[in-house]
Amino acid sequence: MIQRLASVFKDEQPEPSAEVRNARALMAAIDRGGLPLNPARVNLIARQLGLEVSSRAPMDETIGRIRQALERA
């Protein structure tokens, strides 16, 4: 709590949550040319970000929604 307040006064950004770090790592891997092999992992990351994801949703669509959520974060 004190660190967060100190970061406000120092004009620093607070450390991103574990969920955001996981999502950013996934997007970085995809941007480097990687392909997620486990759709359940992609769905889990999306759900951790607060997105509602159908198990039948295409993975590309879910990845796009994760990108949009990261832009808002």
- Domain spans, the chain: 37-73
Predicted TM-score (pTM) of the model is: 0.78
Cβ of 53: how many Cβ atoms within 10 Å? Answer: 18
Give residue-wise pLDDT tens across range 12-44.
677 889 999 999 999 999 999 998 999 999 999
Whether 3 contacts 53, CB under 8 Å: no
Whether 70 contacts 21, CB under 8 Å: no
Residues of the chain with pLDDT > 70, as a percent, come to: 84
Which DSSP state fits 1? -
Give the burial string for 18-35 (b: 16+ CB within 10 Å, else e). ebbebbeebeeeeeeeee
- 58 φψ region: left (φ > 0), alpha (ψ -120 to 50), beta (else): beta
